[in-house]
């Protein structure tokens, strides 16, 4: 009986310690920007889910493609139907690690440069992706931001000749997440 109590207590303490290492959000902001001499295209998704493990450096982002919002409804329709094929490929995600984890002190307020490496999956294609960003710790809260470029052809996202002057070959993706400890 005493051993069972100790085993359960140890398991609960271990789970509590692991939970303290994991922070999450369901309202991370992921946006993209395409600029050409003819037209700029900007879309925002404020419903991305993200987890960060402060002990292992693992970081994950997942977005529903249909949750991107555009200034013009027709752009949103073309994005979902013609380019991202969001019915066929409903989700995009990034799974990776902070490669310079030892340079980030999650227990001390400050802005820390972060280097992240992992796999980005979009439009059914998974590629290795690397990005630089900033992790900010303030009052025990963690936030992460990053801006990086993605070449559409790498993810088999086609730009029909008719609109190729309106859609950039490479788009800028920005992520902005404010995390809470996982409970």
Q: What is the pTM of this model?
A: 0.84
Looking at domain 23-181, which of 3.40.50.1820, 2.40.128.110, 3.30.565.10, 2.40.128.20 is its CATH number? 2.40.128.110
User: pLDDT (tens digit, 0 to 9) for every residue of the chain, 183 residues total?
Assistant: 444 444 443 443 334 334 579 999 999 999 999 888 888 889 999 999 999 999 999 999 999 999 999 998 988 998 889 889 999 999 999 999 999 999 999 999 999 999 999 999 999 999 999 999 999 999 989 999 999 999 999 999 987 777 777 888 999 999 999 999 987
Task: Confirm if 164 and 133 have CB atoms less than 8 A apart.
Answer: no
State how far the Cα of 29 lies from the Cα of 116, in Å rounded to an integer: 18
Task: Confirm if 134 and 154 have CB atoms less than 8 A apart.
Answer: no
């Amino acid at each position: 009986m005493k051993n069972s109590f100790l085993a359960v207590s140890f398991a609960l303490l271990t789970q509590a310690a692991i939970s303290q290492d994991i922070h999450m959000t369901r309202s991370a902001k992921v946006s993209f920007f395409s600029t050409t001499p003819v037209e700029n295209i900007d879309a925002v998704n404020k419903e991305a889910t993200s987890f960060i493990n402060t002990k292992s450096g693992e970081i994950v982002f997942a977005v529903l493609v249909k949750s991107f919002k555009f200034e013009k409804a027709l752009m949103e329709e073309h994005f979902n139907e013609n380019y991202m094929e969001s019915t066929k490929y409903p989700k995009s995600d990034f799974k990776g690690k902070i490669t310079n984890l030892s340079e980030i002190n999650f227990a001390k307020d400050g802005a820390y440069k972060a280097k992240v490496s992992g796999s980005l999956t979009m439009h059914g294609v998974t590629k290795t992706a690397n990005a630089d960003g900033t992790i900010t710790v303030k009052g025990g809260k963690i936030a992460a931001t990053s801006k990086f470029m993605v070449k559409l052809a790498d993810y088999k996202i086609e730009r029909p000749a008719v609109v190729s002057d309106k859609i950039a070959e490479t788009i800028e993706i920005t992520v902005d997440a404010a995390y809470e400890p996982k409970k």
